[in-house]
């Protein structure tokens, strides 16, 4: 039998879906692309924005068009949100296209639930109160799909309750994975030939707060002792950036200096309304501390535009702060109302205003990307080749440097370089990537 999966969410969703597909493959299923006819479809949904929810519905509905007799499993944050709001899915069209409903729990049981569905042919709906979740649910990843780097989930849940965010309500409170389980998975992936791992979680910086005498830096140091060659981190809250953390981190040669440091706004008044735990002065101190240890680190972020009650002046302050920080990239999000959050009850910014601000900030984003890339021109970087792509009828190797610059390199059909680390001289800044020259070894 065949199984296909589609992920609409974050790196945590990506890990969870890959772990589910790993379970199926281990059981004898053939894992195929989502656009192929399959016996089972697993859709990992997202609720972070209205657009993410819309896409989740779209891909769920697509499964029955590809194979009306397939078993469709819908799981993740959007499904959990619908359970929270209504204790059922109110979209009748969506309802008839789902055979197994899961929220953000029991993802390790998907294979068993599908086997049960094959026998009973009865729709399954699994509901639960995520606020009562206290233990980390282990999944086992034996293979990553669609890319050469592997995401390794080490933490789940969030205690921050930012005023705009639905995630604590659909993921529950912070829970950490035992180090022994993390290391077992890392070694399995290394034995499979994976060279780069990304340690990820909903709030990965909080790792270990519910465990004894362990934190994120301890995990990084332990992973560095394995044969894995590169270690990355997913999105971080600024609070983890301290002199002690960076001093220990700087001794880990395998660490890739890319910090996705969540900002959300560069205006203190907006940050206060967001219920963020810092101001711009404190945030900038963290950025300066990072650059003390890693002068050419990639520092990327998320910024929300059009947050409730955001004035033109507040937006301009936010944009100016982004330029001051000199981010290497910005993920821009027009504010999306999340029912059940504090921000949803506040005075909303008109849609057109949000769109105009997003377009304006986009121009700043590309200026900052180019400025960062220009600083790296002429440098020799180690690049992990991830795939071959065709651009304007010409093939290129594509990979990332340790400081997360996307690099295009001239393709040589006689050399198979996928999943290899090569030395590359960076030559030219393009719009969102750089052109590089592979330094072939004699």
Residues 11 and 205: their CA atoms lie apart, in Å, by 15
Neighbouring CB atoms inside 10 A of 325's CB total 21
**DSSP per-residue codes, 9-75:** S-HHHHHHHHHHHHHHHHTTPEE--TTS--SEEEEEE--SSHHHHHHHHHHHHHHHHH-TTSEEEEE
> Residue 102 to residues 122, 144, 320: CA-CA distances in angstroms?
14, 22, 43
Cβ proximity of 336 and 343 under 8 Å: no
Residues 156 and 173: their CA atoms lie apart, in Å, by 8
Identify the pLDDT of residue 9: 85
Identify the pLDDT of residue 152: 97
Residues ≥6 apart with Cβ < 8 Å to 298: 257, 258, 259, 328, 329, 372, 403, 404, 405
Number of H helices, E strands in the chain: 13, 18
Residues 157 and 201: their CA atoms lie apart, in Å, by 8
Q: What is the pTM of this model?
A: 0.93
Cβ proximity of 9 and 76 under 8 Å: yes
Q: How would you classify the pairing of strands 196-201 and 150-156?
A: parallel
Which single residue is written with the structure tokens 């959300």?
264
Residues 435 and 410: their CA atoms lie apart, in Å, by 9
Residues 80 and 77: their CA atoms lie apart, in Å, by 5
Q: Which helix (H) or strand (E) holds 391?
A: strand 380-391
Compute the chain's Rg from CA coordinates: 22
Q: Which residues of the chain have pLDDT under 70?
A: 85-94, 442
CA 137 remoteness from chain centre: 19
CA 61 remoteness from chain centre: 24
Residues ≥6 apart with Cβ < 8 Å to 359: none
End-to-end Cα distance, the chain? 47
β partners of residue 331: 302
Query: Of 327, 304, 330, which Cα lies nearest the Cα of 315?
Result: 304
Identify the pLDDT of residue 87: 57
Query: Of 198, 141, 210, 199, which Cα lies nearest the Cα of 172?
Result: 210
Query: Of 327, 437, 442, 317, which Cα lies nearest the Cα of 383?
Result: 437
Identify the pLDDT of residue 90: 55
Cβ proximity of 319 and 278 under 8 Å: no
Cβ proximity of 142 and 192 under 8 Å: yes
Structure tokens at 258: 């890319």
Residues 422 and 436: their CA atoms lie apart, in Å, by 11
Q: In this structure, what are the phi and psi dihedrals at residue 371, rounded to the nearest 5 degrees? A: -60, -40
Q: In what order do the strands lie in the sheet with 230-233?
A: 175-176, 150-156, 196-201, 230-233
Q: Give the dihedral sign, CA 9/15/16/22.
A: positive
∠ CA 154-327-361, rounded to 5°: 110
pLDDT digits (tens, 9 = 90+) for 237-263: 999 999 999 999 999 999 999 999 999
At 183 the three-state DSSP class reads: helix
């Amino acid at each position: 039998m065949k199984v296909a999966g589609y992920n609409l969410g974050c790196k945590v969703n990506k890990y969870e879906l890959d772990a589910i597909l790993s379970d199926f493959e281990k059981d004898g299923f053939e894992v195929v692309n989502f656009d192929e006819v399959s016996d089972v479809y697993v859709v990992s949904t997202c609720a972070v924005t209205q657009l993410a929810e819309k896409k989740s519905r779209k891909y769920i509905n697509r499964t029955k068009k590809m194979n009306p007799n397939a078993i469709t499993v819908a799981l993740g944050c959007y499904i959990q949100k619908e359970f929270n709001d209504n204790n059922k899915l109110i979209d009748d069209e969506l309802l008839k296209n789902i055979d197994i409903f899961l929220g953000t729990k029991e993802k390790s049981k998907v294979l068993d639930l599908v086997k049960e569905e094959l026998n009973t042919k009865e729709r399954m709906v699994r509901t639960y109160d995520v606020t009562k979740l206290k233990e980390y649910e282990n999944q086992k990843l034996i293979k990553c799909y669609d890319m050469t780097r592997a995401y390794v989930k080490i933490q789940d849940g969030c205690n921050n309750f930012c005023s705009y965010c639905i995630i604590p309500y659909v993921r529950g409170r912070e829970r950490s994975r035992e180090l022994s389980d993390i290391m077992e998975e890392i070694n399995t992936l290394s034995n499979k030939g994976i060279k780069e791992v990304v340690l990820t979680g909903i709030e990965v910086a909080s790792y270990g707060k519910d465990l004894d005498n362990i934190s994120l830096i301890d995990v990084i140091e332990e992973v560095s002792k394995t044969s894995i060659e590169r270690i990355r981190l997913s999105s971080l809250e600024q609070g983890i950036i301290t002199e002690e953390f960076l001093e220990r981190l700087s001794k880990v040669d395998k660490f890739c200096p890319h910090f996705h440091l969540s900002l959300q706004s560069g205006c203190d008044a907006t940050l206060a309304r967001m219920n963020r735990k810092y101001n711009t002065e404190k945030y900038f101190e963290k950025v300066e501390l990072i650059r003390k240890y890693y002068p050419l680190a990639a520092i990327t972020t998320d910024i929300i535009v059009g947050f409730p009650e955001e004035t033109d002046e507040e937006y301009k302050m936010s944009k100016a702060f982004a330029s001051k920080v000199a981010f290497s990239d910005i993920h821009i999000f027009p504010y999306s109302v999340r029912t059940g959050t504090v921000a949803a009850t506040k005075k909303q910014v008109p849609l057109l205003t949000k769109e105009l601000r997003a377009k304006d900030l986009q121009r700043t984003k590309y200026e900052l990307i180019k400025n960062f890339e220009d600083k790296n021109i002429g440098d020799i970087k180690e690049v992990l080749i991830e795939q071959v792509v065709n651009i304007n009828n010409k093939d290129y190797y594509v990979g990332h440097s340790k400081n997360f610059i996307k690099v295009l390199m001239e393709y040589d059909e006689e050399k198979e370089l996928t999943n290899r680390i090569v030395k590359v001289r960076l030559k030219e800044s393009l719009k969102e990537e750089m052109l590089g020259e592979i330094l072939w070894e004699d």
